[in-house]
Structures are given as C-alpha cells and as structure tokens.
Amino acid sequence: MINGRTPAAKITKQLTNTIPIVAYNVNNPVETGLVSSLARPGANLTAIPNNIRGFGVTLKSVDLLRQIVPGLTGIAGLVQIDNPALVLGWRAIEEAARSIGMQTEEIDLHSADDLEPAFASTALARSQAFENSANSILLPVRSRVAQLAIQHRLPGITGTLEFVQAGLLLGYGANKPDEARRAANYV
C-alpha cells in the first residue's frame, strides 16, 4: 500500500508488474495514466483518488471563495507545474472559474523556493484570492504559505487539511483518514 502522490505511485508501478499495489492519496489517476479506469485499473495497481475533482467539486471551491470575498472577479492558482495531476486540478478550477465569468492567473512553481516570488508577482497581486495546486512541494512550508497569504491579505483555498491547520483560510477536499481506511479495505 502506497500513501503517496501520483508521481510516487507512477515510479512504484514502474518497479514491478507482478506485486499488487494499492495507491491512495493520488490525484487524477486515470487522467495521468496511472490506471486505465477507477473501476478496472488494468494492471497490478489500484488507485484511490484523494479528490474526485469533478466540475461540481471545483465549482464549489470557487463558490466558497466567492462567499468569502464579495465581488470576487479573479483567482490565481499556485501550480506545481511539473506534477501533471496537480496541473489537471488547476485546469478544472480554471474552467469552473471561467464558467462564472471570473479571470484566472496561473503562477507556475517548480519548488518551495518559488513561493516568495509568487506572492510578490503582479499576477497574484491582480487576483483577489488564490487556489493552492502545489500541495506536495509547499506542504513542508505550509506555515509560510499561510503567513504570506495573511501578509498579502489574500484568501486561499486548498484541498489539503494541513494548510488550513497552518493558517490558510479555506480547505475543501477529501477526508484523509477515510481514504486510508478505504485503502486498507482493498488490501
């Protein structure tokens, strides 16, 4: 059983094609090629996605920000550009935001070192809120993400509870302990 992000699950899958693998806490397993489908994975790996980011879920994330920020017209995404699963998550947020007439700005991050420049960027300054689609590289500096959001007076939303516990304003995502229990049932 793997509790890892999509890149870690892909690497593990490449290491063996005979040992059964249950991966949970992965993003967009079908879209990133980790499995053929959720119902029929097609190989030795079964994936339990950490957040089914259907249109309704992403629209709810955007709607939560609109409730917090009256007159919200623009949202920025902190995007871990080298993680295809997180890029797909941001694309869904973009689609939901644009469907209700909001502007979007993508801020590409390669590492946690890009965090300070991201908050100093004009793209983030033009936005009235942000969505964190760079969870795996920003998790170790989640307190800094929250501090910068407060300092720049930018409400942020994420799908990872640890960011909210560190002080980020909003979280909307899967229940991680429940995911672990579901994965254990598969094993």
Number of domains the chain is built from? 2
Is 74 found in the same domain as 46? no
pLDDT over 90 at 135, yes or no: no
What is the C-alpha to C-alpha distance for residues 69 and 58, in angstroms, rounded to an integer?
A: 17
Is 63 found in the same domain as 46? no
- Whether 181 is covered by a domain: the verdict is no
Is 133 found in the same domain as 70? yes
CATH number of the domain at 136, please: 3.40.50.2300
Is 125 found in the same domain as 75? yes
Residue owning tokens 């409730």:
67
Is 90 found in the same domain as 27? no
Is 109 found in the same domain as 46? no
Residue owning tokens 């936005």:
127
pLDDT at residue 11, rounded to an integer: 85
pLDDT over 70 at 30, yes or no: yes
Is 138 found in the same domain as 86? yes
CA neighbor of 163 nearest in space, from 143, 149, 177, 148: 143
Residue 96 belongs to domain spanning = 55-171
Cβ-proximal residues to 117 (8 Å cutoff; 6+ apart), any chain: none
Q: Out of 42-51, 71-80, 128-137, which region has the weakest mean confidence (pLDDT)?
A: 42-51
pLDDT over 80 at 127, yes or no: yes
Average pLDDT value for residue range 44-48? 83
Q: What is the mean pLDDT of the chain?
A: 86
List the end-to-end C-alpha distance of the chain, in Å, as a whole number: 7
Which pLDDT band holds residue 52 (cuts at 50, 70, 90)? low
Is 144 found in the same domain as 66? yes
- Whether 185 is covered by a domain: the verdict is no
- Whether 89 is covered by a domain: the verdict is yes
Sheet holding 156-158, edge to edge: 103-109, 74-80, 129-133, 156-158, 170-171
What is the C-alpha to C-alpha distance for residues 184 and 179, in angstroms, rounded to an integer?
A: 9
Higher model confidence: residue 170 or residue 85?
A: 170
> Hey, what are 166's tokens?
């560190």
Is 94 found in the same domain as 153? yes
Handedness of CA 180, 1, 18, 32 (dihedral sign): positive
- Whether 182 is covered by a domain: the verdict is no
